[in-house]
Structure 1
Amino acid sequence: MKAPRHAYPYEAPPGSAAVAGVLPLACAVITHDEADNIGRCLASVAGLVCEIVVVDSGSTDATCEIAREYGARVIHRDWAGFAAQKQFAMDQCSQPWLLSLDADEALEPAARAAIETVFAGGGEPTHAGYEINRLTWYLGDWVRHTWYPEWRLRLVRRDRAAWREYNGHDLLTVHGETGRLSGHLLHYTYRDLEHHMQQSIGYARMSGRQLAESDRRIPVSKLVFSPLGRFIRLYLLKQGWRDGWRGLLLAFSSVMSAFLKYAFALEARQARNRAKNSPGDDS
C-alpha cells in the first residue's frame, strides 16, 4: 500500500459541519506549525467524534485556521512540554471518552470502523483503554518491520487516563484493562532526512538531560552497549533489513539517538557536578 504523503480519503470540505459524530468521544491534538498535517488528521475523525480540541503553542502558519475549518475548538497555550501539553488538552475535553492523536497521525478507515464497533449497541466499552497499531510512512513508503508493530494507547476513558513523562517521551496511561483495535494509526512522520536528524538530536538531548537530573547511574559503557542493543533489536530481531535502505537508515539513526542520549547525559551530569562543587562567589 503506497500513498502520497498528504493523501487521505476523509477530506471534508472547509467550512462543513465536520464535528457531527454521535459517539461520546472527543479528539484532542496539540499543535505547533502543523499546517501540512492537521487537515489530514482531523479529516480522519470527522463525523466520528463529537468534539475536537486543538491546543496550539503559537503556530505562525495556517494550523489554527485549518483546525477551525474542521470544527475544532482551538486554545492557545504556551509550550509546557509534551506530556503537560497533552494533559491540558485532555482536561479541556468534555466527553467521557478521549481519542488522543498527534497532528501527523490519522485513523485508517479500518481503525475508524473498529472504534465505532467499540461503542456499538450503546453500552459501555469493555475496557478502560484501547491500543491502535501505528504504521509509519517514511521517505516514500510504509515501514512494516523496523518500527512495526508499534502499539499505541490512543482511545481511553478520560477519567481513568493521564499523561506523564517517561524516558524523555510522553506516555498515555490508563487505570484499568486495555484492549487492542484492528486497523492502523497512520503516522506521516519526518518531512525528510534532515528533519529526522534534527528531531532525533532534539529528543536525545531532552532525554539525556532528564537522565542527568535523576539519581540514576550513567555508566560510560552505555555509550557502547545501548546503541548496539538498539541496532540488534531493530535491524536483526525486528527484521529491519526487510525495509531495504529505509530500514538500515532507521536502525542507524536509532543507534545515533541512543549514543547521543547518554553522551548528553554525561555532559549534563558533569556540568551539574561542577556547578555543585565550585566555590561560591564570596566577593
Structure 2
Amino acid sequence: MEIPLSVSIITLNEERNLERCLRSVADLASEIVVVDSGSSDATEEIARRYGARFFSKQWLGNVAQNQFSFDQCKQPWVLSIDADEALSATLCDSIRQVMAAPQDGCDGWLINRRTRYLGRWMWHVWYPERRLRLVRRESSKWVGPDPHGHLEVSGPVCKLNGDLLHYTYRDLDDQFAKLISYARTTSAVKYSKGVRMNPFKLLWSPWLRFLRDMVLKSAWKEGYRGIMIAYAGAFSSFMKQAYLYELECRERETDHDPQ
C-alpha cells in the first residue's frame, strides 16, 4: 500500500547499488525522486525502470544537492536515503505503521543504520548509528558543512524500529579514495571559514580517534575489520589536518623566477 511519502536519492554512477535501494522502497513510496550529477553508467535506466522522477543536475555539493532533490518532492513526508542504502523489512513495516497513524508532534524520525563492511555486518563500531532521515517536508531542510550535511527539522523527533542497511565501500581502494575525498572537502570548507591546521590535532587527533573507535565504540569486537576501521578513522583525522596545512602552504607560496 502506498503512503504519503516521497523518497529522495542523489546519485552518480550508482548502477551497482541503485536497484537494491529502489527495490526496498518500491512498494512503500508514492513517489521516488532521483537527482543525478552526470552518471555515465545505467543509473538513469534503473531509476526510470522503477518509476522514479529523474533529474539531471550539475553537482552543487552534498548539502545543496540533497536540498535540490528534497525540493522536488511533493508528498507531505520525505525519506532521504543514499543509493548504497536499503530499507530492511522491519523498517518498512515501521514506516507504514507511523504513516498510517502518525504520532502527534513527531515531525522527524530517527532511523538506525547498520553498515556492511568487507562482507560482514558491523554490530559495534558503527552501530547503533541513528540518523534523521524521515521528516515532514514542510518543516525540514538540509543543513551543515559539506561533505557531511544532515537533515534538520523544526519539530519534535521520534525513533523508528528497524535498520537502514548500508552497503558501504566496495573494497579498500574505494574506502580510502572516499576518505581522502571527504577529508579534502572538509578541510577546504573549514579553511574558507578561517580554520587553520592545529599542531595539537595534527599530532594527537589520529590517536584519539583510534582509541575512541577501538575502546569506546568497541571496534575490537569486530576482529580484524574493527582494527582496520579504527586505523582508517585515524588516517581520516590526520588527513583533515594535513590538507589544512597544505592549503596554508599554498597560500604562502610565492613564485620566483630563477636567477
State how far apart, in whole Å, the 2-side matches of 1:196 and 1:187 are: 14
Determine whether 1:45 maps to 2:25: yes
Counterpart position of 1:80 = 60
The CA deviation at 1:125 is 5.2
Q: Contact conserved, 2:63 with 2:145, CA < 8 A, in 1?
A: no
Further displaced range: 55-64 or 125-134 = 125-134
Q: Give runs of aligned pairs for residues 1-283 of structure 1, distance below 5 A.
A: 21-121=1-101, 123=102, 126-166=105-145, 168-272=147-251, 274=252
The CA deviation at 1:61 is 0.7
**Structure 2 CA distance for partners of 1:111 and 1:104, relative to 1, 3 Å:** same
Instruction: Indicate the SS of the match to 1:169.
Output: coil
Q: Contact conserved, 1:135 with 1:150, CA < 8 A, in 2?
A: yes
The CA deviation at 1:267 is 1.4
- Structure 2 runs not aligned, ≥5 long: none
Letter in 1 for 2:202: L
The CA deviation at 1:108 is 0.5
Q: Contact conserved, 1:27 with 1:51, CA < 8 A, in 2?
A: yes
How large is the Cα RMSD of the aligned pairs? 1.6
Q: Contact conserved, 2:63 with 2:147, CA < 8 A, in 1?
A: no
The CA deviation at 1:164 is 2.0
State how far apart, in whole Å, the 1-side matches of 2:146 and 2:210 are: 19
**Cα displacement string for residues 67-109 of structure 1 (whole angstroms, at most 9, x for unaligned residues):** 1111101110011111111000000011111000100000001
Counterpart position of 1:16 = none
Instruction: Indicate the SS of the match to 1:221.
Output: helix
Instruction: Indicate the SS of the match to 2:58.
Output: coil
TM-score, normalised on structure 2?
0.94
**Cα displacement string for residues 5-58 of structure 1 (whole angstroms, at most 9, x for unaligned residues):** xxxxxxxxxxxxxxxx53111001000100011111011111111000000111
State how far apart, in whole Å, the 1-side matches of 2:235 and 2:204 are: 12
The CA deviation at 1:124 is 6.2
The CA deviation at 1:217 is 4.8
TM-score, normalised on structure 1?
0.86
Q: Contact conserved, 2:34 with 2:54, CA < 8 A, in 1?
A: yes
Q: Contact conserved, 2:61 with 2:147, CA < 8 A, in 1?
A: no
State how far apart, in whole Å, the 1-side matches of 2:27 and 2:219 are: 37
Letter in 1 for 2:30: C
State how far apart, in whole Å, the 2-side matches of 1:36 and 1:71 are: 18
State how far apart, in whole Å, the 2-side matches of 1:261 and 1:167 are: 13
**Moved beyond 6 Å, runs of 4+:** none
- Structure 1 runs not aligned, ≥5 long: 1-20
**Structure 2 CA distance for partners of 1:201 and 1:136, relative to 1, 3 Å:** same
Instruction: Indicate the SS of the match to 2:29.
Output: coil
**Percent identity between the two aligned chains:** 46
**Cα displacement string for residues 123-155 of structure 1 (whole angstroms, at most 9, x for unaligned residues):** 565311001110001111001111111111110
- How many pairs are equivalent? 255
